[in-house]
Amino acid sequence: MLTVNNLSKGYGDEILFSNLSFNAAHGERVVLVGANGSGKSTLMDILAGESTADSGKVVLKRNCRIAYLKQENFKFGNRRLLQEVCEEPGEIRKLRRELTDIHQSLSNGINKQKQSTLLARMAKIDDHLAMYAQNNTEHQAKAILSGLGFKENDFNRLINEFSGGWMMRAYLSKILFSEPDVLLLDEPTNHLDLEANLWFEEYLMNFKGAALVTSHDRAFLNSVATMVLAIEEEQVVIQKGNYDEYLMSREQSFKTKQATAERIEKQIKKQMKFVERFRAKSTKARQVQSRLKSLGKIEKIDLPRTTKRVRYSFPEPPRSGNEVINLENLDKSYGEHVVYRGVDLVLNRGDKVALVGVNGAGKTTMLKILAGVLDFDGGKRQLGHNVTTGYYAQHLLELLNPKKTIIQELQEVAGTASQGVLRNILGGFLFSGDDIHKTISFLSGGEKARVALAKLLIQSSNLLFMDEPTNHLDIASREILTDALNDYNGTLCFITHDRTLIHQVANKIVKVENGRPVVYPGDYSSYLSIANSTVIEQGSVDISGKTSNFQKSPKEKRNQKRQTRGNSVNKLRKLNERISIVESELENINSEMNKLEGFFINPEKFDNPDQLAEFGIKFKDLQKQSKELEQEWEQLSSTVEGDTHENH
């Protein structure tokens, strides 16, 4: 469908990629990964025909239609949302004009041969337009808009009434509705909430064309990718599978090369030792020369440069009281629209709370009220003993002084901290050497986000509020932030569409739903388990993300309740049986891993690096299985404990 042959692009002496070749067929979902500035967006522009390569070709299947979602500069007319999404694409309008021209030609009278040709062409156009009309209905447009988070009352709103993030969703809806053959999507999940993200993932999984996507959302990459195209510092790597499989392959490739390089280095040392020992002995001259020739034929292995994992540690914040913040009987409205009425919520020391819920539920309003940056209409907001707050949101990036340098921005809030201390902090956010003297106006969105985060995190607040902290950050920067938040000894409340961040950081979930914050103790996996169980009880979910609810009669509810009680014993028995099986499997896996670790301690035993690589892959697989079984064991044990308590 789309073929790339020997594509190269650079700017001056900087080569972004060279001799890049790959094929994206029907059903292929290629994810482009790499650090910010590595050339992902440039490659997308070339594929879309908006930029030219230095050499090479992009070949499209005949009549192939491409749709391109860029990160910004969405072009809309001054129309209503549904009208804009349902607008016919250019190629359909072109076919309609051609059809009009054919009708005109036929009415003017032409010879039989030309008439026959035009009639055949008219039949093809009619078939194409009929198929388009069948597949592109207003109902389909509404389903896409709903899946991406728009409400029914949004459909007739003017496009220019929406914010930039919602405009991106509108444009994404428009190109999905047009059903192109190839989708080019540059950071499509940046402005999607969790629910819209899940819907979009499902859409891509069922997309029959080819899709090429850039994203820094690790969970998203793992869900949708069938192929990874990684623009690395020295090469472009193409790997079948998802992002985690690419990382595993890259790590294993490095280990194999390292083992081979070490073996070659040993061989060289051994040969050189012989040469040095017998160089002066005439009786060994032939052997010495032979070994020198052998040394000249040995090709050394150039190992790729490894990137040192940078970590940032928070300054130790002052210890707060146990109850950090308390909302009591809180009310908040925007005009006649009531967001919250009589809300109570308490956060305790050490809580790392993820606020979740559909867009428009009031998550950002809740976060701003908690952070003290938004007034409320009634009730109380009370901070606990010795609590100091910090707040991060995307708009803070625009408050950075464009004329100041990075180091000057940090000096504003760093008190008496020395430049050496600030350099160390900035190093944790991937600013090193002369980078710290860059002027803010020349920074990318991701770099500005890192500066704003660094400013927030050095202030030693013991209660942090963060709104989409990973937006604009590449995967490396996200990992640094995740590690820092995991090590943070204060209290955290955050909103994010990054499921990896929620999974790895949150120890409590608060879902904002129907004007109420509902607290779910435990991590995100536990919350999903509860949420999925609720969905199953309430109805079935389709691709649009809508739930088909059904009402039970009181008699049916009583019967269901009796049945549930009657099944409790069987349920507990089955759960305990599964726990025993999981424990046995864990024991076997841990035994296998211990054996393999014994081999890795002495890798010189292996003459064959492929065998070592095979063992490495097996060890990684066992690690993954062990982690999954441990998570299952924890969930099962928690369920058994809860059910046992409930039955007593």
Closest CA to 166 of 186, 182, 185, 151: 151
Distance CA 21, CA 39 (A): 15
Closest Cα partner for 467 from 198, 172, 165? 165
Note the pLDDT of residue 571.
64
d(C-alpha 41, C-alpha 212), whole Å: 11
Helix (H, G, I), strand (E, B) or coil at 72: coil
Whole-structure pTM value: 0.63
Crossing angle of the two packed helices 90-107 and 112-135, in degrees rounded to 10? 150
Consecutive sets of 10 residues in the chain, 648 residues long: mean pLDDT of each?
88 85 92 84 90 90 87 75 79 78 80 82 80 71 91 89 85 90 91 86 92 90 92 81 87 75 76 75 72 70 57 78 94 92 94 89 92 94 93 83 90 81 81 89 84 84 92 83 90 92 93 90 84 48 35 45 52 69 75 67 55 69 76 70 53
d(CA 286, CA 292): 10
Query: Could you give the CA distance from residue 74 to residue 163 in angstroms, rounded to a whole number?
Result: 12
Rounded Cα gap, residues 586 and 443, in angstroms:
49
- DSSP class of residue 193 equals -
Q: 382-407: string of b/e by CB count within 10 Å (b at 16+)? A: ebbeebebbbbbbebbeebeeebbbb
CB 71 within 8 A of CB 187: yes
At 304, the amino acid letter reads: P
Work out the burial of residue 122: count CB atoms within 10 Å of its CB; fewer than 13 is exposed, 13-18 middle, 19 or more buried.
middle
Displacement of CA 209 from its chain's centroid (Å): 21
What's the angle, vertex CA 534, arms to CA 533 and CA 538, rounded to 5? 120
For residue 377, what are the CA distances in angstroms to 21, 241, 333, 339, 360? 60, 52, 7, 11, 19
What whole-number distance in Å separates Cα of residue 548 and Cα of residue 538? 8
User: How far does CA 201 lie from the centroid of its chain?
Assistant: 11
SS (HEC) of 408-425:
HHHHCCCCCCCHHHHHHH
- Supply 239's token pair: 């790997």
All residues at 6 or more sequence positions from 548 whose CB lies less than 8 Å from its CB, including other chains: 539, 540, 541, 542
Q: Which residues pair with 391 in a beta bridge?
A: 465
127's tokens: 């078939």
Is there a contact between 4 and 53 (Cβ–Cβ < 8 Å)? no
Helix (H) / strand (E) element for 106: namely helix 90-107
Phi, psi for 349 (deg, rounded to 5): -55, 130
| DSSP 3-state of 378 | strand
Listed residue (631, 617, 616) closest to 586, CA to CA: 631
- Cβ pair 274, 288 in contact under 8 A: yes
Listed in sequence order, the DSSP H helices in 156-226 are 164-177, 194-205, 218-224
Closest C-alpha among 442, 522, 533, 446 to residue 481: 446
pLDDT given at position 310: 58
- Rounded to whole angstroms, how far apart are CA atoms 68 and 379? 48
The tokens 């060289």 sit on which residue?
Answer: 268
Q: What Å distances lie between residue 641 and 346, 576, 584, 585, 647, CA to CA?
A: 26, 11, 20, 21, 10
Q: What local confidence, expressed as pLDDT, does residue 569 receive?
A: 55
Residue type, 113: Q
Q: How many whole angstroms separate alpha carbon 386 and alpha carbon 544?
A: 47
